[in-house]
Homo-oligomer: A and B are copies of this chain.
Amino acid sequence: MPEFAERMSAMEKSANVIKGLFGAMNDPDLISFGGGAPAFEALPVDIVREIANDVIRKDKRGVEALQYGNVMGAEDLRQIVVKELLQPKGVEAKVENIMIINGGLEAMNLLCQLYIEPGDVILVESPSFVHSVEIFDMFEAKCIGVDMDDEGMDPDDLEKKIKLYKPKMVYVIPTFHNPTGRTLTLERRKRIAEFGGKYDVIILEDDPYRDIRYSGRDLLPIKAFDKTGHTVLANSFSKIFSPGSRLGYILANDAIMQKLFAAKTATNSHTSMLPQILCAEFFKRGYYPNHHKMICDLYRERRDAMIESIDKFFPEGTKRVFPDGGLFTWVELPGGINTTELLAESVKNPDVKVAFVAGEGFFVEGDGKGNNCMRISYGSVPPEKIKMGIKRLGKLICEKIK
């Protein structure tokens, strides 16, 4: 058989990490804090049925939903992004600068198409989101980690590494970061936005969790401080509407959007129309505010149950993040415990049967960094199961430390 392109071997490492996650997610007996999926209670099933039943008609939007659509996406969904999702968050945008994409992740693929040649450097938070890194690997980028602390990506380390490595792109998840749940402070957002113009580097702001904040104060996105057009904002409807619909959007300046048009056409023509129309109607019919409140209440309760349980059942010396939104917390274990080994045991041990994601796979350094860390996802687990699972996992950890 013909040889595969070089990029396919570049991505083998990350593909393996991911298969590990999916394996853990599929065992029905587990209490899984592994996957990053929203709660099934957070999916607007009944609303979507009602809308579908009303609009999939020849005299309404049924033909539009089933026929070829625009590369840029459904016009009214793009307007909703501008007026309901960006404007209230302090970002002024024109509809022409919004493209609807096939899930938030597609933004990373498209931006790589635009900018990345093999060997180009992308700076990412250390740790960062596995699926995005996998995309960067496929484009044969060299990913280099930037230090982070509880206030998010460290701008001093970032500036140092921008000067040192001359990256094409800085990839940052500023709000309720995956995998750590941390949020970048306002001061740091401003500084990172400035670096875009100062060092002529694309700031790729991936912000899929920002709209599910359930405590603390909203922060302007990095894009709000972008005066030079170097920041590209990617977001997703996965957490506020439905992940299976694969809907996301990109906000970028005119020159970038023109190239995105070509890259999107040459990826899959356009995003599926029916989900776009159902999602647009979901907003237009005014369902979003109540739905949003419902899911925030749901996740807040789960966050509280999770943090309380960790504080109660995990050993002294454990560090954990208190997230003001999103679906994750990040735990650093004391006592030299290797979380990859812990995971192998905790999913099999019949007294534990708990899954999470071991921290090591989120670090591009690949030198064992984060091997005492774990990403714990609470979004899709009810509070009583959270308590039960963390109690069982905590007991196993405490036994190992003794």
Contacts and interface: CB of A to CB of B under 8 A. Distances in A.
A135 to B, nearest CB: 5
B57 A45 contact: yes
A329 B67 CA distance: 21
B43 A244 contact: no
Contact of A269 (B40, B53, B105): B105
A255 interface: yes
A86 B212 CA distance: 44
Nearest to A63: B40
Interface stretch (A113-121, A302-310, A312-320, A353-361): A113-121
A244 B137 CA distance: 31
A5 interface: yes
A77 interface: no
A278 to B, nearest CB: 8
A274 interface: yes
A163 interface: no
B117 A2 contact: no
A266 to B, nearest CB: 5
A18 interface: yes
Number of copies: 2
Nearest to A70: B22
Tier of interface size on chain A: 35 or more
A283 to B, nearest CB: 16
Contact of A11 (B1, B68, B242, B262): B262
Given A69-B244, A102-B272, A246-B271, A58 B37 contact: no
Interface string A250-275: 00000110010111011111111111
Given A40-B67, A272-B244, A138 B109 contact: no
B68 A43 contact: no
B201 A265 contact: no
A245 interface: yes
Nearest to A62: B45
A272 B272 contact: yes
Interface string A226-255: 000110000000100011111100000001
A330 to B, nearest CB: 21
A5 B112 CA distance: 9
A1 B243 contact: no
A261 B48 CA distance: 30
A32 to B, nearest CB: 13
A7 interface: yes
A138 B139 CA distance: 13
A64 interface: yes
A63 to B, nearest CB: 5
A246 B269 contact: yes
Interface in A57-105: 57-58, 62-69, 101-103, 105
Contacts of A272: 102, 244-247, 271-272, 275
A261 B273 CA distance: 24
A6 interface: yes
A382 interface: no
5 contacts: A2-B168, A68-B238, A109-B267, A247-B272, A267-B267
Given A105-B269, A138-B262, 18 more contacts: A1-B256, A4-B115, A8-B263, A15-B262, A37-B68, A45-B62, A49-B52, A49-B53, A52-B52, A67-B243, A67-B244, A102-B102, A102-B272, A113-B138, A137-B266, A242-B274, A245-B272, A246-B271
Interface of A: 1-2, 4-8, 11-12, 15, 18, 35, 37-38, 40, 43-46, 48-49, 52-53, 56-58, 62-69, 101-103, 105-106, 109, 113-117, 131, 134-135, 137-138, 168, 200-202, 229-230, 238, 242-247, 255-256, 259, 261-263, 265-275, 278
